Amino acid sequence: MIIAAADGSALGNPGPAGWAWYVDDDCWAAGGWKHATNNQGELKAVLELFRATAHLDDDLLVLCDSQYVINSVTKWMRGWKAKGWRKGDGKPVMNLELLKELDVALAGRRYRFEWVKGHANHPLNEAADSRARAVAEAYQRGTAIPSGPGWTGAPNVSAPMPAGDADVNVDDGDESHVDVHVDVSGRAPVQPSLFSFDGEDVDGDDPDVAAELDGLHSITLALSADEHDRLVRRARATGVSVDELLRSLI
């Protein structure tokens, strides 16, 4: 599980404003605007945290001192969407663009929000708050923005096996899945005595069959478009090819 704090700050509210998310001193990011509100900073901090971790498949625990953000995500957003992004009184929802972007970023993610009291010496919350405020002050002074290193964590993936070839082919006629073909030439997999090959049960102990398969083994996976995107993002985040990432899981 990833545990991160997200916070916003606005001098004057509205005024020079900043946002920040924080995991540790080596993994954080911040940004802001010349003129915005505190709520906009709070929403943007959470949004950028989800974007920064979009390539991961970990659960995400968001520590947040804004009841507005937590209630927007966990209680109000579904109703707002059903009403065409309008509140119960028919008035437009405030901060609409940020909320729409956050709604997209949340899709398919496993997450939980935990409210923490602001300015109460909670280490992660204080770290996020100080970085958000530093950005707001930088905009106020016209100095360089302390944006942070960004996401520096990486998925736990073992070292890749010897190189081979992987082809990722998208079927243009059906956007619901992606076929991933992996060539594992030269491997010596453990073969059960009976297994399925091209839809037929074959005897893995048959010398002719074993000889035919010994030089080339292929696997075809049907992935949804979302699964494919996550696979590609994880490979890029790890600094390896899709081929190497898949092989590392064998």
- Domains of the chain (ranges plus CATH)? 2-141 (3.30.420.10), 165-248 (no CATH)
Which residues are designated catalytic?
7-8, 42, 65, 119, 129
Helix (H) or strand (E) holding 41: helix 38-52
| CB atoms near residue 31 (< 10 Å) | 19
pLDDT exceeds cutoff 90 at 75: yes
44's CB contacts (< 8 A; 6+ apart) are: 8, 19, 31, 98
| CB atoms near residue 194 (< 10 Å) | 10
Helix (H) or strand (E) holding 86: none
Q: Confidence band (pLDDT; 50, 70, 90) for 49?
A: very high
Q: What is the dihedral of CA 25, 26, 27, 29, to 10 degrees?
A: 70
> What are the distances in angstroms from CA 241 to CA 165, 174, 236?
10, 25, 7
Residue 233: its pLDDT value, please? 67
Mean pLDDT of 86-104: 96
Q: Confidence band (pLDDT; 50, 70, 90) for 231?
A: confident
Reduced to 3 states (helix: H, G, I; strand: E, B; else coil), residue 226 is helix
> What are the distances in angstroms from CA 71 to CA 98, 135, 241?
15, 26, 40
CA angle centred on 29, ends 52 and 118, rounded to 5°? 105
Q: What is the pTM of this model?
A: 0.63
Q: Which of 203, 28, 207, 59 is nearest to 18 (CA)?
A: 28
The overall average pLDDT reported for the chain is 77
What phi, psi does 2 have (nearest 5°)? Answer: -90, 130
**Each residue's pLDDT tens digit, 138-155:** 999 999 999 999 999 744
Q: Which 8-state DSSP code applies to residue 12?
A: S
Helix (H) or strand (E) holding 79: helix 77-82
Token pair for 169: 């082919």
Which has the minimum average pLDDT: 58-62, 175-179, 246-250?
175-179
Q: Which residue type is seen at 179?
A: D
Mean pLDDT of 55-67: 97
